[in-house]
C-alpha cells in the first residue's frame, strides 16, 4: 500500500502523518511512502488552474499505476478517486473502520464526549459519513452538532477561500466552532487535515481522527 500523505499532512500538520504511521504499524499494515511526493492536483483543480492540474495528474498517474493508495486528506481522496483514472484509493477513516472490525486495532471505549466535523470532500461529495463515526464510537461517545452529514457546515478552508478570502474563511470556521462548542464537548474531531488547520481555535481542541485514536487508544507508551 502506498500511503499518500498529501501536502497539508506532509508539510503543515505533520503530526497527522506520524499518527497515521503509528496506527498502520500497530495494525501490521505493509506500506511505503514516496520520498519525493508531489501534490495530487486538488488545489489547482479547485482554484481553476485546469491545464496545470491535468499536467500534474498525468505525472502522478505514472507513479500511482497499479498501486493501492491510502490518503490522509479528504481533498486528496476526492481528487484521486474522481479526477484520476482507475485508481484503487481508500481514505484513512475507511481503512481504520475496517481494521477495527477485523480486530487488527482494538480499543476500549471511554466515558468521553466528543463531536465530529464532516468535511465537504469526504462527506457530501463522496458520502463517507458512517466510517469515521464508527471509528470515533469505538473509543468515545459521539455527540453530534446541529448540522451534520450532508448538511454539515463547511469549515471555510476549501476552494482557495482561505488563501484568497481569509476573512470569509475565518467567519465560516467560527460558525462551525460555535456549533461544536454548543455540544458541550471539549474535543472536535475531523478526517481532513485542511479542516483541522482552519478549525483550530483557543476554546476547544481539534484533532484529526488518527491523532485522536493515538491519544485515547490505550497504546503502550513505549511504542
Per-residue model confidence (pLDDT) at position 157: 85
Q: Summarize the confidence of residues 109-119 as an average pLDDT.
A: 96
Per-residue model confidence (pLDDT) at position 163: 77
pLDDT band (50, 70, 90) for residue 220: low
Per-residue model confidence (pLDDT) at position 5: 95
Answer whether residue 223 shows pLDDT above 70.
Answer: no
Per-residue model confidence (pLDDT) at position 222: 43
Residue 203 in grid coordinates = 476554546
3-class SS letters over 122-158? CCCCCCCCHHHHHHHHCCCEECCCCCCHHHCCCCCCC
Q: Cα dist. 191→53, 67, 179, 197 in Å? A: 24, 22, 17, 11
Spatial separation of the C-alpha atoms in residues 208 and 223, rounded to whole Å: 20
Spatial separation of the C-alpha atoms in residues 212 and 137, rounded to whole Å: 12
45 with 79: CB under 8 angstroms? yes
Per-residue model confidence (pLDDT) at position 132: 98
Helix (H) or strand (E) holding 23: helix 14-26
pLDDT band (50, 70, 90) for residue 207: very high
Per-residue model confidence (pLDDT) at position 33: 96
Residue 12: other Cβ atoms inside 10 A: 12
DSSP state of 29: -
Residue pLDDT, tens place only, 120-149: 999 999 999 999 999 999 999 999 999 999
Answer whether residue 221 shows pLDDT above 60.
Answer: no
Mean pLDDT of the chain: 93
Spatial separation of the C-alpha atoms in residues 146 and 124, rounded to whole Å: 16
Judged by average pLDDT, the poorest of 50-59, 88-97, 109-118 is: 50-59
- What's the residue count for the chain? 223
Residues 64, 78, 166, CA angle at the centre, nearest 5°?
120
Q: Summarize the confidence of residues 80-106 as an average pLDDT.
A: 96
Residue 205 in grid coordinates = 481542541
Amino acid at each position: 500500500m502506498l500511503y499518500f500523505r498529501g501536502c497539508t499532512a506532509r508539510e503543515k500538520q505533520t503530526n497527522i502523518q506520524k499518527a497515521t504511521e503509528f496506527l498502520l504499524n500497530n495494525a501490521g499494515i505493509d506500506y511505503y511512502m514516496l520520498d519525493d511526493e508531489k501534490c495530487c492536483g486538488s488545489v489547482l483543480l479547485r482554484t481553476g488552474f485546469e491545464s496545470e492540474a491535468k499536467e500534474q495528474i498525468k505525472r502522478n498517474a505514472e507513479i500511482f499505476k497499479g498501486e493501492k493508495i491510502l490518503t490522509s486528506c479528504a481533498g486528496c481522496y476526492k481528487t484521486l478517486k474522481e479526477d484520476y483514472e482507475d485508481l484503487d484509493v481508500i481514505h484513512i477513516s475507511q481503512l481504520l473502520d475496517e481494521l477495527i472490525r477485523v480486530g487488527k486495532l482494538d480499543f476500549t471505549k471511554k466515558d468521553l464526549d466528543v463531536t465530529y466535523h464532516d468535511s465537504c470532500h469526504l462527506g457530501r461529495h463522496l458520502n463517507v459519513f458512517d466510517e469515521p463515526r464508527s471509528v470515533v464510537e469505538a473509543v468515545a461517545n459521539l455527540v453530534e452538532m446541529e448540522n451534520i452529514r450532508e448538511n454539515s457546515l463547511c469549515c471555510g478552508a476549501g476552494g482557495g477561500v482561505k488563501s484568497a478570502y481569509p476573512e470569509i474563511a475565518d467567519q465560516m470556521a467560527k460558525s462551525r466552532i460555535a456549533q461544536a462548542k454548543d455540544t458541550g464537548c471539549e474535543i472536535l474531531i475531523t478526517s481532513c487535515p485542511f479542516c483541522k488547520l482552519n478549525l483550530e481555535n483557543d476554546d476547544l481542541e481539534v484533532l484529526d481522527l488518527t491523532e485522536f485514536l493515538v491519544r485515547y487508544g490505550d497504546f503502550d507508551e513505549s511504542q
